[in-house]
Structures are given as structure tokens and as C-alpha cells.
Amino acid sequence: MNRYWSKLAQGLEPYVPGEQPRDRKYIKLNTNENPYGPSPKVLEAIRNATDDSLKLYPDPTCDMLITAAAESYGVGRKQIFAGNGSDEVLAFAFMAFFDPGRTIVFPNITYSFYPVYASLFQLDYVTTPLDSEFNIPSEQLLQNSGGIIIANPNAPTGKALSMSAIRNVLEGNPDTVVIVDEAYIDYGGESVVKLIDQYPNLLVVQTFSKSRSLAGMRIGLAFGDSQLIAALESVKNSFNSYTLDRLAIIAGTAALRDAGYYEGITAKVVATREKFVRDLRSRNFTVADSAANFIFVSHSDVSAEKIFNELRARGILVRYFNKPVINNHLRISIGTDAEMAAVIRALDQIL
């Protein structure tokens, strides 16, 4: 830091993503990536588009991707926004809907980027505590605040909120936007995209980095009333006209058009998760019910930090958050059956 930093920059505490080490080959279960690759049709579409047309700017409206999403989700084209990953979509949403001086609300244990956005955009926030089983007590979110954001399923707990609980939150906050971050929804939660016609204050955010196996391509979507989408467009077009490159637009479109492939790999991840949860519970792990592609666990006898370090030494990366409330838990992404069997073997050595 030096005298050239803005006051804003001086006050930031940036988000720290899960590590992407290159020192050795790891079984990588720390950033909730998909263990299966993208659809072969996606890869083919990217290769076919890799030509001289890359000299031209992308379509700033991402029309092809928006059209495919409208068909896939059964919503209107003007109800969809596309951004560079759900992180960028969320950043734009914080700018478009939340005002400094009006306190926003989110759970104390959730995606740790939310307080970072609040700091970047100089928004006040309060957090509401999870209950003892890591559920979000939605009745605490009924105060009319400056805005609400909920991850559903929540991270890093993996626990889902019911649609009726989300309806209550929407109805309890008629004057402010409620963002529902559905990054992990395809692994077990019930999406509220179908509610956007009923609630003009609902913005649903999804990503292609998890169930669509395209973390490397940075694609996120938002769904909501056309007026909310127009606000996101206005902010984006004041920031960077083209945040999805040509190949990302192509990749996202092809992914939406091969739903069958993705349903197949999602079902595999869910089946692997259920077996892994049983294996852990039989070894005295407490495992929160997960509707995501990761699980949140603690052991009765051995600390999370110790297990984290021991797994790392054995070439297995998981995520450990050294924070109050959750500093005796690990978040473990679900990989292939073989990878999770390797985790179980390593745990049997460690315990």
C-alpha cells in the first residue's frame, strides 16, 4: 500500500479463493469444481469457433447465450442477464440494487465474498446467525432492510432452504431486492427461478462453474423481473461492455443445449456424495445434509485443522476455514467415486 491507493483500496480485505497449487498433483476437492469434464459438444463448439472471428468483439448482449437460456429455463429473454461468472453478476447486483446507508442482511456463515462486495461498494451489513444445525432461520430475514442475499444451498454448509421459506423472505421484504445465489442448486435444492414472474424483487443468480463443468470459462446468469435485469445491464455497460468473450458465449450456449449430458454427470456426483456421506458417518463424522456438490463435516475426536493438514500431506486438498463457528469443520468437494475412495483410505490412516 502507498500514497497512491484510493481510500477505497486502502480499506479492502479481498476474497481469498481456494488454492490452485501447481507444486504437485493433488486430488483437488477444495473449490467445488466438477469432477467430470464439460460436454464433448461444448468442446467441439469451442474448437469450431476458434478462428479469425476472434479478432472481432463479442456480442455485448450475449444474445445467443441469453436465447438458449430463455429456452432452457422457460423464461423471457429480458428476464436474463449474463456475466463473467456468478461472482461478476453478484458484484453488479450489489451495485445495481443496494445503497450505501441502507443496511443489507445475510447469514453469518455463507459465501465469504458477500462481505467483500459490501466493503468494495461501501455498504453496511448485518449478519444473522445460523441455528445449531447450520440452517438459516429465515424468519430473521423478515425485517425490511436495504437488501437480502441468501445462498441456496448455502456455502460452505451445503444446506438448502425450502421454497416456502424463500417466499416468506420475499414477501417480508417487498421494498428491497432479495438475491438468491443458486450456485449449487442443481445438486439437490429447489430453484426459485420459477418465482420471478411473481416477485419483482427476486433476483436469482446461477453459475456454469459447478454443475455445468465450465469453471474455466467464467459464465454466470441472473434471472429476474425485466426491470432488475435492465439495472444489471446498465451497471455492466458502465463498467465493461463485453465481459464474456466469444468462446465463453459459445461454450455456455452449447452447454445449455446438451442438458442430457449434464443431468447424467450431476446424477453421478449426487450418488457419489450419498455414498461418501454414509462412509463418513460410519467413521464418527458429523455431516450436514448436503444439497450441493460438497459436504461440510467435523469429526468427534480429531480437529478439522489436523485432518486438513494430514490430507494435504497425502495429496488431497480440501477447504478449511479458520473462522469462528466453523473452524472445526471441513468443506470437501465431491469428486469421482475413485477420488472419494482415496479420501476414505486417507482418513482411515489419519484417524
Work out whether 318 is an interface residue with a second copy (CB under 8 A).
no
Site for a second copy, residues 60 to 79, rule: CB under 8 A = 60
CB of 323 to a second copy, least distance (A): 18
- Binders of a second copy among 238-297, rule CB under 8 A? 238-248, 251
What residues numbered 81-100 form the site for a second copy, per CB under 8 A? 84-85, 87-88, 91, 95-99
The residue among 134 and 184 lying less far from a second copy, judged by its C-beta, is: 184
Per-residue x/- track, 110-139, a second copy (CB under 8 A): ------xx-xx-------------------
Looking at the Cβ atoms of 143 and 237, the one nearer to a second copy is 237
Minimum CB–partner distance for residue 219 and a second copy (Å): 9
- Specify the residue, 50 or 327, whose C-beta has the smaller distance to a second copy: 50
Q: Which is nearer to a second copy, 121 or 310 (CB)?
A: 121
What angle, 0 to 180 degrees and rounded to 10, lies between the N-to-C axes of helices 226-236 and 85-97? 100
Span near a second copy by CB under 8 A; candidates 7-15, 128-136, 285-293, 294-302: 7-15
How many chain residues interact with a second copy (CB under 8 A)? 86
Site for a second copy in 189-248 (CB under 8 A): 200-201, 209, 213-218, 227-228, 230-231, 233-248
CB of 285 to a second copy, least distance (A): 27
Residue 144 binds a second copy, judged by CB under 8 A: no
Q: Which stretch binds a second copy (CB under 8 A): 11-19, 129-137, 156-164, 322-330?
A: 11-19
Taking CB under 8 A as the rule, does residue 160 contact a second copy?
no
Q: Judged by CB under 8 A, does residue 31 bind a second copy?
A: yes
